[in-house]
């Protein structure tokens, strides 16, 4: 996923959670939002076709507790925060901006929401502004709106890794097979959860 190019010299990767192709949900200051809204300060993306289903009505209605959101297969990420300015809420903001194509990287230096560079509207516009054969070739490469393993990725939100109190992986849900969920606990008390897949990198660390 372009991790080698994204990482800084000497930076050690601890978690690499790829795009979920699902929506983001949240409970911020007691209010449940599913899908979580995209903030005004998020970078503009190209139009990304979303084939995944919308969150269920019962998820958006709230009234449930714990990890019941994992029973809704349309939800890939979930944030719990007391204030929209807290780190998990801000991470959810930018994950939502990725329309199912954003991922999360954690290193010994930073935690970041990442997106393939080709999905940023300004990058696509610059490619289309090029003239001649090279411009057409570059434009052709950018027509895809999915995340390929070789794609260059960029951070659209970052925080110092020291703002993360701990992280780990748990099996949650009401029935088998249980959902495998990564949990990121921030020092401000907010928490970000993400479904995991077989290709995700999650080095063991207790919370």
> Does residue 93 contact residue 36 with C-beta atoms inside 8 Å?
yes
Give the tens place of pLDDT for each residue, 89-137. Answer: 999 999 999 888 899 999 999 999 999 888 887 766 666 666 454 555 5
Residues forming beta bridges with residue 46, ordered by sequence position: none
Q: DSSP label at 74?
A: T
Q: What is the pTM of this model?
A: 0.86
> Can you give the pLDDT at residue 111?
97
> Can you give the pLDDT at residue 178?
87
167-176 in b/e form (b: 16+ CB < 10 A) is bebeebbeee
119-141 in b/e form (b: 16+ CB < 10 A) is bbeebbeebeeeeeeeeeebeee
Exposed, middle or buried, 88 (CB in 10 Å: 0-12/13-18/19+)?
buried
Query: pLDDT tens track of the chain, all 207 residues?
Result: 466 788 889 999 899 888 778 999 999 999 999 999 999 999 888 777 777 788 999 999 998 888 999 999 999 999 999 999 999 999 999 999 988 889 999 999 999 999 988 888 776 666 666 645 455 555 555 555 566 667 788 999 999 999 999 999 988 888 888 888 999 999 999 999 999 987 777 775 544
> Can you give the pLDDT at residue 69?
94
> Can you give the pLDDT at residue 97?
92
> Does residue 114 contact residue 103 with C-beta atoms inside 8 Å?
yes
As a whole number of angstroms, the distance between CA 41 and CA 44 comes to: 9
> Can you give the pLDDT at residue 133?
47
As a whole number of angstroms, the distance between CA 161 and CA 146 comes to: 28
């Amino acid at each position: 996923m372009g991790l080698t190019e994204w990482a800084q010299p000497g930076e050690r990767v601890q978690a690499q959670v790829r795009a979920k192709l699902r929506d983001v949900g949240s409970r911020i200051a007691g209010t449940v939002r599913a899908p979580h809204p995209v903030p005004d300060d998020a970078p503009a993306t190209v139009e990304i076709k979303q084939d995944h289903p919308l969150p269920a009505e019962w998820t958006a209605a709230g009234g449930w507790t714990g990890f019941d959101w994992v029973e809704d297969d349309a939800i890939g990420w979930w944030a719990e925060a007391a204030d929209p300015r807290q780190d998990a809420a801000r991470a959810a903001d930018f994950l939502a901006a990725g329309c199912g194509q954003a991922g999360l990287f954690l290193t010994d230096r930073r935690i970041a929401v990442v997106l393939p560079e080709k999905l940023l509207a300004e990058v696509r516009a610059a490619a289309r502004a090029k003239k001649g054969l090279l411009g057409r070739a570059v434009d052709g490469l950018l027509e895809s709106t999915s995340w390929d393993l070789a794609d260059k990725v960029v951070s659209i939100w970052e925080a110092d890794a020291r703002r993360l109190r701990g992280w780990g992986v748990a099996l949650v849900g009401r029935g088998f097979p249980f959902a495998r969920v990564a949990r990121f606990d921030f020092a401000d008390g907010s928490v970000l959860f993400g479904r995991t897949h077989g290709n995700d990198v999650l080095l063991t660390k207790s919370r």
